[in-house]
Amino acid sequence: MSKIILAIESSCDETSIAILKDDELIANVTSTQIAIHQKYGGVMPEIASRLHVENIGIVLKEALDTAKINLEDVSAIAVTSGPGLIGSLHVGLQCAKTIALAYHKPLIPVHHLSGHIYANEFVKPLKFPLLAIVVSGGNTELVVMKKHLDFKIIGETTDDAIGEAFDKVARVVGLPYPGGVSIDRLAKQGKPRYHLPRPLDDHSYQYSYSGLKTAVINLCHQLKQKNEPVIVEDLACSFQKTAIDLLLDKALPAVDEFNIKQVVLAGGVSANSYLREQIVSRLSDRKDVEVVIPPLWCTTDNAAMIAKVGSYLYEQNIFAPLTLSANPSWKLEDFRRF
């Protein structure tokens, strides 16, 4: 009998439902709220939860219609139960719990960041020991995996996430949300002419992106005071180069330290073209290390990646009771505790 995982993702501003039949993705429907949050320059949590409520039924129907199945056919319901915005998480969770209760299906709690890592399985099977460079609007983490569902965080940001820094820098120079996309596009036309600091530039796996963001803000103020124009393309290029070079300079020594066989990118910032190009070129002479980059459709939040993890958790009978709550600050290493 086929294993059919129906997965729900609603941790931030995307309402997404996917259906994975054995290894085949037979539906992945996502409704994004970006256009609405753009007006506010960032995600408004209360609006996000209300829109999830409006959209989730429609997304569910479309996913079932696309997959041509009924809820009775499903083996289990996987759902992102953290981390993320509490109100947003609750909508997906209530939907999942309702289906699980009404159709007597097991409920699988999935950690959002594990989903971003497993998104790479849509390209290639994960190979261990693996280094995942997890970079999103809320996280900057280096994760080592020795086997499936075994996550060890070897380093993380001590303040802002790298995506948050992209978004804030973009806002300062008047670029639209999500800032990473705008900066990436403009950086291609610029030169790295502005000198920016490299906070926490040591041999640890810890990061600090708040200082870099502040340096950009200060630079803009100084130029304004001197009546000098900010060359936005050059600023975008300088910031992006500093942020990504720092990320990789500090992450890649882990390849030798942990005898890594595969390096994967994960999270929204993994869409960054300079990061994608740099990771490949920096590891090009390492024939012993495979680099996997998630497809662009899988860098933003989606339920397909949640279904992938859900499928592994299903094999290990990792199910949650219907009393499961959303955990907005769930640590990846605690993913078995819910």
Q: Which residues bind ligand KG4 (CB under 6 A)?
A: 12, 136-138, 163, 166-167, 178-181, 184, 267-269, 271-272, 300-301
Residue number, 21 or 213, with CB nearest to ligand KG4? 213
> Nearest approach, Cβ of 17 to ligand KG4 (angstroms)?
17
Give the separation between CA 106 and CA 324, rounded to whole angstroms. Answer: 12
Residue 159: how many CB atoms within 10 A of its CB? 16
Give 156's strand partners: 141
What the block records as the tokens of 89 is 């998480």
Residue number, 209 or 312, with CB nearest to ligand KG4? 209
Q: How many CA atoms lie within 13 A of 150 on its CB side?
A: 10
Residue number, 100 or 275, with CB nearest to ligand KG4? 275
Sign of the dihedral through C-alpha 191, 193, 194, 196: positive
What the block records as the tokens of 268 is 């929204």
Residue number, 67 or 181, with CB nearest to ligand KG4? 181
Residue number, 64 or 173, with CB nearest to ligand KG4? 173
> Nearest approach, Cβ of 116 to ligand KG4 (angstroms)?
6
Residue number, 93 or 271, with CB nearest to ligand KG4? 271
Nearest 5°: phi and psi at 168?
Answer: -70, -40
> Nearest approach, Cβ of 4 to ligand KG4 (angstroms)?
26
What the block records as the tokens of 6 is 């129906």
CA-CA-CA-CA torsion for 280, 284, 288, 289, nearest 10 degrees?
Answer: -10
> Nearest approach, Cβ of 273 to ligand KG4 (angstroms)?
6
> Nearest approach, Cβ of 294 to ligand KG4 (angstroms)?
11
Residue 198: how many CB atoms within 10 A of its CB? 16
- 178 upstream amide cis, omega within 30 of 0: yes
> Nearest approach, Cβ of 297 to ligand KG4 (angstroms)?
12
